[in-house]
A and B are shown apart, each in its own frame.
Chain A
Amino acid sequence: MFFSGLISTSGMVGSSMATPFGNYRIIDLSQGAPGAFCTKYFADYGADVVKVEPPRVGDETRRTGPFFHDDPHPEKSLLFLYLNCNKRGVTLEVGSPSGQELLRELLGKADVLVESAQPGYLQSIGLGYEELERLNPRLVVTSITPFGQSGPHRGYQGNDLVYYAMSGLMYTSGAYDREPLKHGHPQSLYMGGITAAYATAAALYAREADGRGQHVDLSLAEATAAHHYTAISRYSYAGLIERRAPKVEGGSFKGAGFEGIVPAADGYIGPSTQQGRQRGTLAEFAALTGHPEIDAPQFATPQQRQERAAEFDALVLPLLRQMKKYDFFDAAMADGWVAGVVQTQEDLARCPTLHERGYFAEVDHPVMGKLMFPGELFRLPGAPWSLRRPAPLLGQHNGEIFCGELGYTRDDLVLLRQQGTI
């Protein structure tokens, strides 16, 4: 392991306490990050999640980096590892009749199906929501697709970049005179995953009243578009169309009014004009940095700072550049400002707050070995998180589930394997 410092484990041991979703069986037929992130939430809080992958190739995230020691081996995707701990895994060819039979048997006993097939595909093989409702009226079916099950774009191809474009978020992100910009890490996929998780949990809550499941139809493009609500309000209240960063004559759009992200001596910081819920004054900011010369009358108001941005930047940015990023951040935050520091992965991996809060666990993976693992999202004291098992190897639980639970024989398993069904 490259990084072997600082390991504080919240434990790899199974918990005997009640877990909120411990009574639920979830079948995750989805491909890619969003569905897996959704079912990760349930697995982390106790559900029995069975990840269903296509035989031989497995889930697409197995072919997605980063890879352990940069070795693109199907069992070494760190993305797959992150998303699928605490789950069991089987393989099954959805396109074949015997694969569909296996899936039907799994779904007959399940509480939730999470799937991400093109709208219409599951209907075409007799596994659309109406058929599934007849098979198991208690089943909650959560469909995660780029544009949802209805509407003129339902057949459109989508991915992270397309969602950012059509959500309006790109139009308001980036520099005034450059191309629109998206987040540099595929956030839309994570946003889709958590949206699916809470909507599925709500559908399970509704089921307690009358025992009936339902179909949850989620659009990844809409999960990203939900973030654009302030720009939507601006149009809906006043007809104004928001755009990227204001035009700042000659100055850095990032420095304007010190609301941007600016260089420090050893990285980047986000200075702030806010002290708690109030705006701090320039004099207070000057005191914070130890440079009283910042408090010049011609920059007193945010409007003045924006109008004289180039001049203001020329004064302030070199002074901030002399400060170390955590020196600035800690001084500002301790003084009640709401500031930011651009943290790298290394910073996060070493972060004393995350360690003290027990965020990191240790995973023991049969192929990758022991690895520090980003774990508990939030703590439910009545039912703490635990890392019960590493991400499954491809088809690892075929025997356990198909023979142990569905009653297939070992001979069946061998046949199904050789026929390419599992």
Chain B
Amino acid sequence: MNGPLEGIRIIDSTTMVAMPTALHLMGDMGAEVIKVDSHTLYRGEGSLFPDGKPGPRYWDQDASFNALQRSKLGVTLNLRAQEAVEVFKDLVRVSDVLVENNRAGAMDRLGLGWEDLRRVKPDLVYLSNTGFGYTGPWRSYAGIGRMFELTCGLSQFTGYPDEGPCRVGAAFFDLHVGWTAIFALLAALEHRNQTGQGQWIDFSMYQIGVATMGDALLDFIANGRNGARMGNTHPYYAPHGVYPCKGDDQWVAIAVETDQQWEALVQAMGSPPWAQDDRFADALSRWKHREELDRFIAQWTASYVHTELMGLLQALGVPAGAVYNAREELLDPHLKERGFFEKVAHHPEAEIGTRVYVGRPWRMSRTPAFIRRPAPMLGEHNELILGDLLGRSEEDLAELYDLGVLGKEPANQQPPGRGQSVERQIEQGTVAAYDPDYKKLLGI
């Protein structure tokens, strides 16, 4: 079946996380996304290989790269060569969208800026993603997702109330910015369909991240208030936190929002005498006495398995969730039934096998999205794109390979080391556990 974005051709000249995420999702939705790589540049983070062992084609095996570049075709173009710039322009002529995330001005220096390319393709939608935008005093600063937590204002709220700000274990604003980019590109395509005009979009990760803090920003503007660390507490609900469960590092989150939910929680706890105390009689007094309340609840939760407690509380209508780790998420029956994770079989030459990736947080009833293909191996679609799509002859291609414009293996091979042993990682606490039978558990 066709995806919703069938018929859109996109050139992906991006790195890092935010824009590759936007474009792999558009690929999942049926757009034809052509990832422009170079065999002369470092590919991927080189941090995680199948079973921790880099194979002969290690450059095609990086887990992050493969998660971020799925559903795309791949060509290699060494843009330092003028011939590559010409091929790039040919590609622009037959495409609808170009997305890039070089530092401000870098594409202009290559002759691939908006002013250059609008002459080649007047109705092109061209999005430049930078950390802080093309204007303003921070325009030359580089940005990466995990620093925007701090700069966009989120970190001042995040952390234990008795300590300074704390980072969250994901490059948080990358996905938000990527998802916003999909919206922006679809808005620009809509505009093109109505007016016949393309445009250049100066996308700033910073500005888009700040937009998730709008109400907090207005709190300062109207009330002069700055936020502080909240831990897992809520500004007006209690109990609201994570509580220990049976086993090592097992927790359940409980977040009570109404009197009805509170009564259900009390019932679940077997109506202990302390719960009848005036201190917990209504929402206001529960919130005022939330620390004592948390201590009582933590004593009760400690004898339960976290998932069992979640089921028990949810059956009574109390918002509760087990604190999942990656294995628990992957094996969660609900996510399984909804197909949130997808299995992808890689090309045999890449020696990756079948791996599981995160799908999308939504389903469309008529134009389903799915992972269309594994991430491309380096230069995998050079012949398809340059030959079949752009009409270059075999001789042309051979010459481009000779000139080093195209390549299928890295120009500078630097096989990565094995990294730290699993035992050492567990000892240092960088990982919680290792499941030797993970493939069996995942069915891959």
Q: A131 to B154: give the CA distance in the assembly, Å.
A: 42
On whether A268 and B165 interact (CB within 8 A), knowing A208-B193, A234-B63, the answer reads: yes
Instruction: Please name all residues of chain A whose beta carbon is closer than 8 Å to the beta carbon of B374 when the two chains form the complex.
Output: none
Q: Is B120 among interface residues, defined by CB-CB distance under 8 A?
A: no
- Are B29 and A238 within 8 A (Cβ)? no
Residue-wise, chain B 9-31 has the 8 Å CB interface mask toward A (1 for contact) of: 00000010000000001000100
Question: What total count of A-B pairs have CB within 8 Å?
Answer: 545
Tell me whether A82 and B191 are in contact (CB under 8 A).
no
Q: A106 on the interface (CB 8 Å rule)?
A: no
Interface-centre pick from A176, A197, A236, A254 (highest chain B CB count, 10 A):
A236
Q: Which residues of B have CB within 8 Å of A1?
A: 221-222
Cβ-closest chain A residue relative to B425: A240
Q: Answer whether residue B277 sits at the interface, using C-beta atoms and an 8 A cutoff.
A: no
A133-175 near B? 1/0 per residue, CB < 8 Å? 0000000000000011111111111111111111111111111
Q: A198 to chain B: which residues have CB within 8 Å?
A: 25, 179-180, 182-183, 186
Distance from A243 Cβ to chain B, minimum over Cβ atoms (Å): 4
Known interface pairs A187-B154, A246-B430; A151-B338 also in contact (CB < 8 Å) = yes
Interface residues in B, total, Cβ within 8 A: 169
Residue in chain A with minimal CB distance to B329: A168
Q: Are B63 and A197 in contact (CB under 8 A)?
A: no
Within 8 A of A (CB), among B114-155: 132-133, 135-144, 147-155
**Could you tell me which residues of chain B, from 225 to 243, have a CB within 8 Å of some CB in chain A?**
225-227, 229-232, 234-236, 240-242
Question: A151 — which chain B residues lie within 8 A by C-beta?
Answer: 333-335, 337-338
Flag if B225 contacts A45 (CB, 8 Å): no
**Pair A18/B191 contact, Cβ less than 8 Å:** yes
**A184-204 at interface with B (beta carbon < 8 Å):** 184-185, 187, 190-192, 194-199, 201-204
Q: Is the pair A202, B207 in contact by a Cβ cutoff of 8 Å?
A: no
**Choice from A202, A225, A262, A368 contacting B329 with Cβ under 8 Å:** A225
Q: Is the CB of A2 within 8 A of B432?
A: no
B201 near A214 with CB under 8 A, answer: no
Residue numbers in A under 8 Å from B335 (CB-CB): 151, 222, 225
B330 part of interface (Cβ distance < 8 Å): yes
Please report the C-alpha to C-alpha distance between residue A3 and residue B225 in the assembled complex, in whole angstroms: 10
Are the C-beta atoms of A272 and B434 separated by less than 8 Å?
A: no
The proximity string for B residues 224-266 relative to A, scoring 1 for CB distances below 8 Å and 0 otherwise, is: 1111011110111000111010000101110101000100000
Quick one: closest B residue to A303, CB to CB?
Answer: B420
CB < 8 Å neighbour of B337 from A152, A203, A359: A152
The chain B residue sitting closest to A212, CB to CB, is: B366
Structural contact, A150 and B338, CB atoms closer than 8 A = yes
By the criterion CB–CB under 8 Å, are A226 and B175 in contact?
yes
Is A239 an interface residue when CB atoms closer than 8 A count as contact? yes
B40 to chain A, nearest CB (A): 14
Kindly report which residue of chain A lies nearest to residue B219, judged by CB atoms: A66
Task: Verify if A334 is at the interface (C-beta below 8 Å from B).
Answer: yes
Contact of A228 (CB < 8 Å), options: B66, B165, B322, B358: B358
- Contact residue among B166, B222, B240, B333 (Cβ-Cβ distance under 8 Å from A261): B166
B81 on interface, CB distance cutoff 8 Å: no
* Shortest distance between the CB of B361 and any CB in chain A (Å): 4
B414 within 8 A of partner (CB): no
B267 CB contacts on chain A under 8 angstroms = none
Taking a contact as CB atoms under 8 Å apart, the answer to whether A214 and B323 are in contact is no
Q: Is B213 an interface residue (CB 8 A)?
A: yes
Question: By the criterion CB–CB under 8 Å, are B136 and A356 in contact?
Answer: yes
Return the chain B residue nearest A191 by Cβ: B176
- Cβ of A402 < 8 Å from any Cβ of B? no
A349 touches B221 (CB 8 A): yes
The reply to whether the CB of B85 lies closer than 8 angstroms to some CB of chain A is no
Cβ–Cβ < 8 Å partners of A226 in chain B: 175, 358, 360-361
| Option from B253, B319, B434 in Cβ contact (under 8 Å) with A241 | B434
Binds A, one of B46-54, B268-276, B280-288, B382-390: B46-54
Q: Is the beta-carbon distance between B175 and A235 smaller than 8 angstroms?
A: no
Residues of B within 8 A of A171 (CB): 169, 323-326
The complex places the Cα of A244 from the Cα of B224 at a distance, in Å, of 34
Beta-carbon contact of A346 and B327 below 8 Å: no
Q: Give A284 Cβ to nearest chain B Cβ, in Å.
A: 15
Output the residue of A19, A69, A222 with the most chain B CB within 10 A. Answer: A222
A258 within 8 A of B: no
Inter-chain contacts of A336 with B (CB < 8 A): 142
Q: Does A372 contact B (CB under 8 A)?
A: yes
Query: Is B410 in the interface zone, CB < 8 Å from A?
Result: no
B227 pairs with A344, CB closer than 8 A: yes
**Contact yes or no, A179 B242, CB < 8 A:** yes
A202 to B360, CA, bound (A): 13
In the bound assembly, the distance between CA atoms of A269 and B155 in angstroms comes to: 10
Return chain A residues, CB-CB under 8 Å to B439: 239
- Give the residue name and chain of the A residue nearest to B433 (CB): A241
B88 touches A (CB below 8 Å): no
A165 to B320, CA, bound (A): 9
Q: Which of B187-210 contact A (CB under 8 A)?
A: 187-191, 193-195, 197-204, 206-208, 210
Whether B151 pairs with A341 at a CB distance below 8 angstroms is yes
Q: How many angstroms from the CA of A239 to the CA of B4 in the assembled complex?
A: 34
Q: What chain A residues lie within 8 Å of B152 (beta carbons)?
A: 343, 348
Interface presence of B157 (CB below 8 A)? yes
A190–B175 alpha-carbon span in the complex (Å): 12
Instruction: Return 8 A-B CB contacts under 8 Å, by A number.
Output: A185-B216, A197-B183, A198-B182, A222-B338, A233-B66, A236-B63, A242-B430, A345-B213
Closest 10 CB pairs between A and B?
A: A184-B157, A172-B169, A247-B429, A239-B438, A340-B150, A206-B4, A222-B361, A345-B220, A340-B147, A165-B253
